[in-house]
């Protein structure tokens, strides 16, 4: 990252005055110490990257700056003046605007309407459409959007442009500080360039930008300085030009905190699942992988890398366009979940609320819903006793904290809900188990439990494929790690690989050359 | 090795359109039908037939103006037929027995319609009841109210106070029923309101994403009540139009009106899921339904075929709309 | 790392002090358990009208004989309400506005078979059911496979089927001899074993309603198909991940609705000794009361929730309430107050549903 990008982003911003300053900010959530004495400084006319692992404190920091949360201790100052804590109105009024990952726009309304929806400019009671339109045209210009789009329906715009509209909307609050939360997560390569151009232009016009990202390779292209958070503290805050992707990764992960890895020997033998040149444009392409019985392979990649899509293709949810999948040597077609299940494949979906649980139903209902034919006499008559017994067994075996099989699932904690969905996948011993983000939003205790179950599965001979963006989890579980970036597998590591290496491979350019990272 | 992860074909630059949905297609279909009917029959293109057609479509179109807003917010109102009955029985008795003048009777009609609409709006926005359930309920309650007010007999001898918006010659200006002129004017106003006024646009936001709308500072509940209240006003107007030149008001007034209105709105391109639709489309949809009805009579076909055609038109219109939206969102 | 903190599982912990009196707890239970509430209301209604009758306020006695004969209206209403249950539970805005038209059209088919072509009742019944299934399949195709919103699809078929029914026999009813004979299917008969002490029940209750209701109950509660239906209604994305054929299950809900409507058609033809082309469109149509009863019975419009028991008791409540109203008022006032009762019941039960959901208890 020591290369000077043509746009000169790597130049230092040290000459500029500070517009935002946080001093010794502390924040606890119950027992979790989210921020420990954080000092943070943002200068005018700079793009300041903030990076850190999940749980490092990034989102808490942002919430405090944006006024969604109040710090327990410490101060925030804008232009030297203290900022009222915990008030989004004050923050907005002071010129702090936030743009989140998913553009929160109304698809059916035009660009101009979206910018001012709910707070239309009025003149003596009537909406001042002329003033609004002029303002929107100006904002579009600032973010680099074609001004002809002002009356276009937002749903007709590609995602990247929708995001620019979100940015324009944030700016319409007369923002002097713009917080961008993972802006590139949902964008493709070309679109990211558009977004970068907008950010640079804003920076040049005097807006200070806080740029949160997991994609370390982007930092060189867009940021002036980078602050690295780890476990609630700032471990470094330096000019981008002085850091390499590898160094940032090391800082994020920490030397002493190498996550433990399980004491497992990788099994030998013929692979039970072989995937060749699996492609589904534009999500992933040319994916090759193979898994042996008893082996745990991780697909490790950032959000949007395509890892999740691979797994969903293997389960027949969004089937691949081309490529070959072989199970036990025989070529198979996986065009629906029924096909997958028929070949002994089971999948734990990523988002349990949307893709996993039947919230208003009981544990027993949830678990048996994937195996109705098996649990029914003659395939029709549900054997309720057996269903209850199986549910009861699982509750005991995987320690689901619930009074009984009849408990409504949406009364359970996140971790226990996840266990219920996992139990559903385990009823008929799968030969190949696919898991997507198995411990997302799950407490530590349940996380360990789920990992234990995964190990037991593998020990019993199943081939396990885990998709996870959680680095410690990947290190803990995987016999082999396939790093996915930009829709394909870019590197492979074995158990015991260093966290920083994995992170760098997934998040940044491993080659220190002048080439733009080939995402 | 650069990953080419976006292989979208070159996109046509999205343009701002004055007319978003299938209004153009509807105009075309209507034009074709009218031409075909004029050529195919001798009586379609006569002024008396056309004014009959426009007069009969007017109540549906009027209520449709309000219903468009309601459906855009993602809701629905099946109580409009019963509401019309209430308005008609009260107003017709008022002008017959109470000697009310046109302005007075009109005011009463509007107030009653407004009240009925507000009840719907409150049940839905504040009571949290799903619109179809709430308005199924009020459909019954309002029909009950109407029947009680009818006192088991039709209202006869109603004076021609409302002849000005009626179906006969007195209700026409340059050959077009006043009821239709009124409809066009009001439709135009509503169209402008839903296109240019902030609170009109808020209905679309609300129908698109109620949670995001609330976060954006839109007064969701107020907007909802407004949509149903407005529909109530149009129900009042429709009642007056139906009373028209007076004479007889039957107890089953307004029965089935809601379905015709919904059909008109849906054929006009408004999505039942909310967030999309225009009053212009509704007018065209109403005209289409009316044209089909008239055509079938003139062609000497069985009148029962009307409903068959309406059903088919609904399917085609919604189907085309579905396909178009799916293509638009293919990313 | 966000930890999901939700309220603890519904455990009967030692933390709740016994401040709630038993009355309060009973009230809580009744309000949240729809079946309990409806049963209580049923008893209240029947008791109320019975007392009114004893005190001479009614036109005729509200006794068991009357209640038994009122069951005649229970059969079509209950069956259609069960049809709506299946369709609404299947989720994605499921509803069937076309049941009335399917009743009309399949009724005409039955009428043609028995009344015009001289078929025996049983084969004609079977073919009629197939006709109903086919009509329901059209709805199912539109909704489950083509993605039409159910409201629109069934509105369109309501028009289309109703129209074909009117056209089928030149808009004239079929009331020939064999049809008149079929009326015997629906006369009141004395219940065997219980003899004279027990009032005569309309035959169709035993021959049509009971078996069909039992089948529906079993299918919904005990079969894997029933589970699939509730699963897709609760969360059809999770259902897909759970390897449930979402489209096929949803499709079959609409087919089932068509089947049930066809059964109602046969009963209606027999009951009126005439196959009428507008049988399903009387009043505001048959769909409205059916949906009302389903919602009253605890079926959630959003899908995935609803019990057969609730629907049946709700139907009974509505039927006996209507029967009582008919006796309490003179002339056509009665039918008017029935409208009021229906509307009020619907609004109040929906308010109750919304309130329960807000309190986090579901609709029981």
pLDDT at residue A6 is higher than 50 = no
pLDDT at residue C10 is higher than 60 = no
Domains in chain A: ranges and CATH: 18-95+174-253 (3.40.50.300), 273-352+430-507 (3.40.50.300)
> Closest partner residue to B5 among A104, A120, A282, by Cβ?
A282
d(CA A102, CA A91): 21
The first and second tokens of residue B61, run together, are 């179109």
Q: What is the mean pLDDT of chain B?
A: 87
Helix (H, G, I), strand (E, B) or coil at A465: strand
Interface check for C350 against chain B (CB to CB < 8 A): the answer is: yes
Residues of chain A contacting residue B213, judged by C-beta atoms under 8 Å apart: 106, 118
Is B218–A118 a contact, with Cβ atoms under 8 angstroms apart? yes
In angstroms, what separates the C-alpha of A300 from chain B's closest C-alpha? 17
Which band of pLDDT confidence, cut at 50, 70 and 90, is reported for residue C18? low
**pLDDT, position C150:** 95
d(CA B228, CA B206): 14
Q: At CA B156, angle to CA B153 and CA B157, rounded to 5?
A: 160
Mean pLDDT within A449-473? 91
Residues of chain C contacting residue B307, judged by C-beta atoms under 8 Å apart: 159-160, 162-163, 166
Pair A188, B5: CB distance under 8 Å = yes
Is A355–C222 a contact, with Cβ atoms under 8 angstroms apart? no
**% of chain B with per-residue pLDDT over 90:** 49
A395-411 tens-digit pLDDT: 988 888 888 899 999 88
Interface check for C323 against chain B (CB to CB < 8 A): the answer is: no
The pairing of strands A345-348 and A376-377 is: unpaired
**pLDDT, position A63:** 87
**pLDDT, position A53:** 79
- What CATH architecture is B42-324? Orthogonal Bundle (1.10)
pLDDT at residue B209 is higher than 70 = yes
ipTM of the complex, rounded to two decimals: 0.86
**pLDDT, position A14:** 67
Interfacial residues of A (vs B; Cβ cutoff 8 Å): 104, 106-110, 113, 117-120, 127, 129, 146, 148-153, 155-159, 188-191, 281-283, 285, 306, 485-488, 516, 518-519
A483-502 tens-digit pLDDT: 998 889 999 999 888 888 88
Half-sphere exposure of A175 (CA within 13 A, CB side): 30
A143-172 tens-digit pLDDT: 888 888 888 888 888 888 888 899 999 888
Helix (H, G, I), strand (E, B) or coil at A496: coil
d(CA B257, CA B272): 18
**pLDDT, position A413:** 83
Helix (H, G, I), strand (E, B) or coil at A273: strand
The Cα-based distances of B12 to A156, B8, B15, B328, C316 in angstroms read 10, 11, 9, 11, 60
pLDDT at residue A299 is higher than 70 = yes
C155-202 tens-digit pLDDT: 999 999 999 999 888 888 888 888 887 787 777 776 776 666 677 777
The pairing of strands A47-52 and A208-212 is: parallel
**pLDDT, position B302:** 83
The pairing of strands A81-82 and A488-494 is: unpaired
pLDDT at residue C123 is higher than 70 = yes
Just give the CATH number of C42-48+61-358.
Answer: 1.10.3470
Is C4–A413 a contact, with Cβ atoms under 8 angstroms apart? yes
pLDDT at residue B124 is higher than 50 = yes
Which band of pLDDT confidence, cut at 50, 70 and 90, is reported for residue B176? confident
Mean pLDDT within A449-472? 91
pLDDT at residue A256 is higher than 50 = no
**pLDDT, position B7:** 40
**pLDDT, position A125:** 63
B77-89 tens-digit pLDDT: 999 999 999 999 9
3-state secondary structure A290-345: EECCCCEEEEECCCCCCHHHHHHHHCCCCCCCEEEEEECCEEECCCCHHHHHHCCE
Pair C215, C83: CB distance under 8 Å = no
Which band of pLDDT confidence, cut at 50, 70 and 90, is reported for residue C154? very high
Mean pLDDT within C317-323? 92
Interface check for A411 against chain C (CB to CB < 8 A): the answer is: yes
d(CA C36, CA C45): 14
Helix (H, G, I), strand (E, B) or coil at C202: strand
In angstroms, what separates the C-alpha of B329 from chain A's closest C-alpha? 7
Which band of pLDDT confidence, cut at 50, 70 and 90, is reported for residue B18? low
Mean pLDDT within C313-324? 93
Q: What is the mean pLDDT of chain A?
A: 85
C197-239 tens-digit pLDDT: 677 777 778 888 999 999 999 999 999 999 999 999 999 999 9
Is C362–A360 a contact, with Cβ atoms under 8 angstroms apart? yes
From C356, which residue of chain B is nearest by alpha-carbon distance? B128
DSSP type of residue B163: G
Which band of pLDDT confidence, cut at 50, 70 and 90, is reported for residue B145? very high
Mean pLDDT within B275-295? 91
Phi then psi dihedrals of residue C148, to 5 deg: -70, 140
Mean pLDDT within A183-196? 80
Interface check for A357 against chain C (CB to CB < 8 A): the answer is: yes
Helix-strand-coil split of chain B, %, nearest 5: 70, 5, 25
**pLDDT, position C99:** 96
**pLDDT, position A487:** 87
**pLDDT, position C20:** 58
d(CA B146, CA B257): 15
pLDDT at residue B6 is higher than 50 = no
Residues of chain C contacting residue B266, judged by C-beta atoms under 8 Å apart: 152, 155
**pLDDT, position B252:** 87
Please state the pTM of the whole predicted model. Answer: 0.86
Which band of pLDDT confidence, cut at 50, 70 and 90, is reported for residue C246? very high
**pLDDT, position A379:** 81
The first and second tokens of residue B182, run together, are 């009124």
Is C10–A337 a contact, with Cβ atoms under 8 angstroms apart? no
Where do the structural domains in chain C lie, given as residue ranges?
42-48+61-358
A217 CB burial (10 A radius; 0-12, 13-18, 19+): buried
A25-40 tens-digit pLDDT: 999 887 778 899 899 9
pLDDT at residue A7 is higher than 80 = no
Which band of pLDDT confidence, cut at 50, 70 and 90, is reported for residue A2? very low
A321-343 tens-digit pLDDT: 999 999 998 999 999 999 999 99
Phi then psi dihedrals of residue A181, to 5 deg: -100, 105
Which band of pLDDT confidence, cut at 50, 70 and 90, is reported for residue A472? confident
Strands (E), chain B: 155-158, 172-173, 176-177, 247-249
Greater model confidence, C280 or B106:
B106
Which band of pLDDT confidence, cut at 50, 70 and 90, is reported for residue C359? low
**pLDDT, position C9:** 36
Mean pLDDT within A422-449? 89
Interface check for B18 against chain A (CB to CB < 8 A): the answer is: no
d(CA B213, CA B258): 28
**pLDDT, position A282:** 81
Which band of pLDDT confidence, cut at 50, 70 and 90, is reported for residue C80? very high
Residues of chain A contacting residue C245, judged by C-beta atoms under 8 Å apart: 338
């Amino acid at each position: 990252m020591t290369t000077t990008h043509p746009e000169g982003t790597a130049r230092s911003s040290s000459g500029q005055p500070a517009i935002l300053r946080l001093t010794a900010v502390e924040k606890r959530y119950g027992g979790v110490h989210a921020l420990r004495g954080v000092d943070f400084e943002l200068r005018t006319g700079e793009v300041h990257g903030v990076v850190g692992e999940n749980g490092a404190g990034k989102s808490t920091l942002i919430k405090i700056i944006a006024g969604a949360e109040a710090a327990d201790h410490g101060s925030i100052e804008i232009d030297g003046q203290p900022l009222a804590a915990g008030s989004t109105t004050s923050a907005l009024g002071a010129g702090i605007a936030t743009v989140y990952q998913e553009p929160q726009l109304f698809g059916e309304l035009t660009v101009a309407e979206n910018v001012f929806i709910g707070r239309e400019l009025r003149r003596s009671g009537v909406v001042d459409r002329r003033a609004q339109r002029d303002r929107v045209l100006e904002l579009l210009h600032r973010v680099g959007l074609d001004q002809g789009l002002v009356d276009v329906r937002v749903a007709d715009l590609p995602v990247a442009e929708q995001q620019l509209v979100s940015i324009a909307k944030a700016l319409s609050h007369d923002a002097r500080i713009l917080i961008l939360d993972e802006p590139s997560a949902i964008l493709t390569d070309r679109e990211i360039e558009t977004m970068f151009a907008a950010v640079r232009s804003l920076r040049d016009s005097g807006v200070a930008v806080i740029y949160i990202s997991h994609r370390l390779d982007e930092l060189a292209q867009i940021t002036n300085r980078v602050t690295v958070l780890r476990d609630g503290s700032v471990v470094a805050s330096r000019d981008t030009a002085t850091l390499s992707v590898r160094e940032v990764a090391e800082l994020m992960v920490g030397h002493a905190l190498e996550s433990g890895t399980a004491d497992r020997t990788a099994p030998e033998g013929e692979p039970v699942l072989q995937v060749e040149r699996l492609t589904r444009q534009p999500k992933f392409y040319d994916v090759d992988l193979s898994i042996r019985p008893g082996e745990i392979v991780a697909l490790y990649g950032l959000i949007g890398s395509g890892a999740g899509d691979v797994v969903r293709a293997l389960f027949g949810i969004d089937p691949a366009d081309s490529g070959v999948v072989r199970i036990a040597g025989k070529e198979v077609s996986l065009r629906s979940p029924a096909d997958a299940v028929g070949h002994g494949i089971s999948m734990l979906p990523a988002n349990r609320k949307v893709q996993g649980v039947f919230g208003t139903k009981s544990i027993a209902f949830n678990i048996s819903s994937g195996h109705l034919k098996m649990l029914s006499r003659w395939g029709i008559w549900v054997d309720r006793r057996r269903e209850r017994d199986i549910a009861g067994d699982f509750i005991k075996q995987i320690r689901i904290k619930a009074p009984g099989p009849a408990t409504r699932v949406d009364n359970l904690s996140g971790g226990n809900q996840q266990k219920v969905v996992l139990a559903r996948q385990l009823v008929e011993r799968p030969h190949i188990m696919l898991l997507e983000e198995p411990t997302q939003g799950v407490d530590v205790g349940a996380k360990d439990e789920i990992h234990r179950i995964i190990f037991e599965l593998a020990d019993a001979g199943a081939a396990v494929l885990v998709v996870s963006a959680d680095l410690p989890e990947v290190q803990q579980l995987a016999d082999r790690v396939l790093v996915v970036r930009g829709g394909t597998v870019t590197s492979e590591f074995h158990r015991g690989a260093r966290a920083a290496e994995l992170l760098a491979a997934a998040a940044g350019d491993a080659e220190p050359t002048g080439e733009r990272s080939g995402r | 090795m650069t990953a080419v992860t976006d292989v979208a074909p070159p996109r046509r630059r999205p343009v701002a359109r004055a007319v978003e949905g299938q209004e153009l297609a509807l105009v075309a279909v209507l034009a074709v039908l009218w031409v075909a009917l004029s050529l195919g029959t001798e009586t379609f293109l006569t002024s008396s037939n056309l004014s009959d057609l426009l007069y009969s479509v007017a109540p549906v179109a009027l209520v449709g103006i309000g219903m468009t807003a309601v459906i855009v917010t993602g809701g629905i109102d099946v109580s409009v037929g019963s509401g019309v009955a209430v308005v008609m029985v009260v107003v017709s008795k008022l002008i017959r027995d109470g000697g009310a003048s046109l302005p007075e009777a009109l005011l009463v009609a509007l107030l009653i319609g407004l009240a009925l609409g507000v009840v719907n709006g409150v049940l839905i926005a504040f009571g949290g009841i799903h619109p179809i359930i709430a308005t199924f309920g009020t459909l019954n309650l309002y029909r009950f109210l109407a029947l009680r007010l009818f006192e088991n007999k039709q209202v006869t001898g109603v004076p021609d106070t409302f002849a000005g918006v009626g179906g006969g010659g007195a209700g026409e200006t340059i050959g077009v029923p006043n009821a239709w002129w009124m409809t066009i004017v009001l439709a135009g106003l509503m169209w402008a309101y839903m296109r240019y006024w902030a609170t009109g646009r808020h209905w679309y936001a609300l129908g698109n994403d109620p949670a995001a709308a609330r976060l954006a500072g839109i007064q969701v509940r107020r907007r909802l009540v407004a949509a149903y209240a407005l529909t109530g006003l149009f129900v009042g107007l429709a009642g007056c139009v139906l009373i028209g030149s007076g004479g007889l008001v039957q107890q089953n007034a307004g029965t089935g009106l809601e379905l015709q209105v919904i059909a008109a709105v849906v054929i006009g391109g408004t999505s039942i899921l909310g967030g999309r639709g225009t009053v212009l489309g509704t007018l065209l949809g109403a005209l289409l339904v009316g044209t089909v009805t008239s055509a079938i009579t003139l062609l000497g076909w069985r009148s029962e075929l009307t409903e068959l055609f309406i059903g088919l038109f609904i399917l085609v219109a919604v189907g085309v709309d579905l396909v178009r939206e799916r293509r638009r969102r293919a990313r | 790392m966000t930890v999901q903190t939700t309220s603890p599982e519904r455990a009967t912990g030692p933390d709740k002090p016994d401040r709630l009196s038993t009355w309060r707890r009973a009230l809580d239970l009744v309000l949240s358990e729809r079946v309990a509430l409806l049963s209580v209301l049923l008893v209240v209604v029947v008791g109320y009208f019975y007392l009114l009758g004893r005190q001479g306020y009614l036109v005729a006695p509200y006794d068991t004989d009357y209640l038994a004969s009122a069951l005649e209206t229970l059969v079509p209403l209950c069956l259609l309400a069960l049809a709506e249950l299946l369709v609404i539970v299947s989720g994605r805005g499921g509803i069937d506005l076309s049941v009335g038209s399917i009743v009309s059209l399949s009724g005409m088919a039955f009428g043609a078979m028995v009344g015009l072509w001289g078929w025996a009742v049983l084969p004609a019944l079977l073919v009629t059911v197939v006709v109903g299934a086919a009509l329901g399949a059209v709805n199912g195709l539109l909704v489950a496979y083509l993605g039409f919103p159910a409201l629109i699809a069934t509105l369109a078929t309501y028009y289309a089927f109703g129209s074909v029914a009117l056209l089928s026999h030149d808009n004239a009813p079929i009331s020939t001899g064999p049809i008149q004979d079929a009326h015997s299917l629906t006369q009141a008969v004395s219940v065997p074993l219980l003899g004279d002490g027990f009032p005569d029940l309309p035959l169709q209750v035993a021959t049509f309603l009971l078996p069909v209701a039992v089948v529906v109950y079993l299918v919904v509660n005990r079969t894997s198909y029933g589970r699939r239906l509730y699963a897709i209604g609760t969360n059809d994305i999770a259902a897909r991940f759970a390897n449930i054929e979402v489209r096929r299950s949803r499709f079959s809900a609409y087919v089932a609705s068509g089947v049930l409507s066809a059964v109602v058609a046969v009963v209606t033809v027999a009951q009126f000794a005439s196959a009428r082309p507008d049988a399903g469109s009387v009043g505001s149509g048959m769909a409205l009361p059916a949906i009302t009863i389903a919602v009253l019975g605890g079926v959630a419009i959003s899908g995935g929730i609803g019990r057969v028991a609730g629907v049946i008791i709700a139907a009974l409540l509505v039927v006996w309430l209507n029967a009582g109203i008919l006796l309490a008022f003179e002339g056509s006032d009665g039918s008017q107050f029935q409208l009021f009762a229906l509307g009020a019941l619907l609004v109040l039960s929906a308010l109750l549903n919304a309130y329960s959901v807000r309190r986090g208890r579901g609709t029981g």
